[in-house]
Amino acid sequence: MTEELLRLSKRMSELGLSSRREADEWIARGWVRVDGKVVSELGTKVYPSQHITVERQAAAEQSKRVTVLINKPVGYVSGQAEDGYTPAVALIKAENRWAEDRSPEQFHPTQLRSLVAAGRLDIDSVGLLVLTQDGRVAKQLIGHDTEVDKEYLVRVQYTKGDKLPDSELKRLNHGLWLDGKPLLPAKVRWQNDDQLSFTLREGKKRQIRRMCELVGLKVLGLKRVRIGKVKLGDLPTGQWRYLSADEQF
């Protein structure tokens, strides 16, 4: 069987060495070796069996990249500024850092460069949002084959009668379609009389609100409380902390 050539940056991303953007940066700086030889030409292709190593500078630079957890308030967008709305990254400043953050990391404004949201949380939703400079973290959380689930607490009101029928709760767990495609199975259960817990593996635009609409539920409030093994915990609204070295999604 013949091997297929792949772009070096794509192969590095597949191997979990870096994001594609980081890979291109490192190749341009001469920090990547294929079978022991430095490769500095962007767009170079390699065979999967070839051995890829990166120089120590790349690893050192990567370990300096920060990941920040923020408890996003209503009225902030998670990504780029849009239509006069402020992006959540504007809240990342020294005075908004949670006093109980136990990370030894010192805040410096250069950390705001290339700090991107790894996943969306829409303007009307609150809770845990991850901003990272580390391409590996972003890929882990928003790559199309992500294994990381996310948990939300959703306050709802049933609009078609007294109480959501069990058959509709079952459909929320599995059986709904959005955008012409079946949704992956979810875990949806009642937390109390007016609040559901949703655990999802995917994140289509306004997915939970649209799922609720399909079964006659109106969403009154939506809060993300967990991403993988990382919980929102007691982090106050509008404040942030660093992902600590011993935390993994």
- CB 126, CB 75: distance < 8 Å: no
- CB 241, CB 91: distance < 8 Å: no
- CB 130, CB 231: distance < 8 Å: no
The residue from 122, 124, 134, 246 that is catalytic is: 122
Residue 72, phi then psi, degrees to nearest 5 = -70, 130
How far is Cα of residue 229 from the mean position of the Cα atoms in its chain?
A: 13
- CB 48, CB 74: distance < 8 Å: no
149: annotated active-site residue: no
**Count of other CB atoms within 10 angstroms of residue 59:** 13
Residues annotated as catalytic are 122
